[in-house]
Copies of this chain bind each other. A is one copy, B any other.
């Protein structure tokens, strides 16, 4: 079935731009962590015009297209389904353009440029793209998922740092909105349609992003908190004065923290042999100011010391000052350590910051009452209202098989977050096939209708993407 299309695409793009052999396709069929399917073929155009021509050819052939950046997404949106009838459109060759304008503080890049390549090029100018992640996605993929990361508190998400966009549309045209301006108020900001919509309206072939000076110093502390409310009081107290230099406020529950030291002996446990408190907050400050003007480590230590003399103090159990790398190592080992504890069901939830403590308590209470064999190991970006609730159990203890338990727990926890706490079932990972069911459950019908109108206009044959918005 792939024969005619593959040969059309080879004529358009050259022999090695198209792969059809099953062995060659494997690495495009499986995501970094999630998502696995079977592709009809893989095609890798090298310019926006080639992407547009590829889409036109696929449209003519009636073949569904899955745009794929670096394939690091977490919701299965960049891999084909199991049918073997979808074409993977990889951006891996669309990575030539990378122009930095240090006075405008912008970079103009191809959609397939990797975050690491962009930051490497920017470093020479003392600049960076401030989305901070464990993975190394492509810029196009970051736009299609509206990536957040750990420093959203200060810098915002991809949407906040995106000035312009270039998109290949399903009909083979190219929409050029490569705006270099911070202020350009001329009607509909069309780029917004392509941010966080998983490539269903078009393929992001280029972008203009705003970039920022690299901070020269960072300071971090771990603060033990006797309760979730204490962690929120700490957040508010610190934010009042330190807002300008406050880059991260991560919170880790004892249940999520303890396994880190069990599974990673190299990671130092600041609590030693004592049991950690209910929550541990990782506070980070960063600044472009030189230490001579502002000593962040001294400032943070002094501010935390002052707090210990106020009414917030009662609920603060410990304060550890330490090196950013050491403290972030703890945070970054959480997910993996939990996988060493048993079966893990990970959530990517947000609620209003003010309701975070109440939400996690309610989730815990629900689990204790109805799923006592499940441990609630929550951690996340409390400064941004995000929490990666991780539920952990062992198959032996569970009275229900995982295949039934997983969807049941998802429904219960998402319902709690969305319906009772004005929260979201996808804080930062996006929709994708993995969250399709919840998108359908929670999206207002008026919003779905707007989506439908846009889809009918931009991709009437419905050839783009695996998500149905």
Contacts and interface: CB of A to CB of B under 8 A. Distances in A.
Given A180-B352, A185-B145, A288-B244, A169 B101 contact: no
Contacts of A106: 352
A446 interface: yes
Interface in A423-463: 423-431, 435, 439, 442-444, 446-447, 449-451, 453-454, 456-458
A422 to B, nearest CB: 5
Contacts of A102: 236, 354
Contacts of A431: 185-187
A181 B243 contact: no
A360 to B, nearest CB: 15
A245 interface: yes
A275 interface: no
Interface string A163-203: 00000010001011100111111111110110111100000
B104 A451 contact: no
A457 B430 CA distance: 25
Interface centre among A180, A192, A451 (most CB of B within 10 A): A180
A146 interface: yes
A467 B198 CA distance: 31
Interface in A397-431: 422-431
A457 B446 contact: no
Given A188-B454, A239-B105, A294-B294, A428 B183 contact: yes
Contacts of A101: 352, 354
A385 B187 contact: no
Interface in A181-238: 181-190, 192-193, 195-198, 212-213, 215, 232, 235-236
A383 to B, nearest CB: 9
Contacts of A215: 244
Interface in A352-394: 352-355, 381, 384-386
Interface stretch (A4-12, A25-33, A154-162): A154-162
Interface centre among A186, A245, A381, A457 (most CB of B within 10 A): A186
Given A104-B385, A180-B352, 20 more contacts: A102-B236, A103-B236, A104-B355, A105-B353, A106-B352, A146-B185, A160-B160, A177-B447, A181-B424, A182-B350, A183-B381, A185-B430, A186-B425, A186-B431, A187-B198, A188-B196, A188-B454, A188-B469, A190-B447, A293-B302
Nearest 9 interchain pairs by C-beta = A103-B354, A453-B457, A192-B192, A183-B427, A184-B424, A180-B352, A104-B352, A104-B354, A187-B469
27 contacts: A103-B235, A104-B353, A148-B183, A148-B185, A169-B446, A175-B446, A181-B350, A181-B352, A181-B423, A182-B353, A184-B350, A184-B424, A185-B431, A186-B425, A186-B443, A187-B196, A187-B430, A187-B467, A187-B469, A188-B197, A189-B192, A189-B195, A189-B196, A190-B447, A215-B244, A294-B294, A454-B454
Interface of A: 101-106, 126, 145-146, 148, 152, 156-157, 159-160, 169, 173, 175-177, 180-190, 192-193, 195-198, 212-213, 215, 232, 235-236, 239-245, 287-290, 293-294, 299, 302, 350-355, 381, 384-386, 422-431, 435, 439, 442-444, 446-447, 449-451, 453-454, 456-458, 467, 469
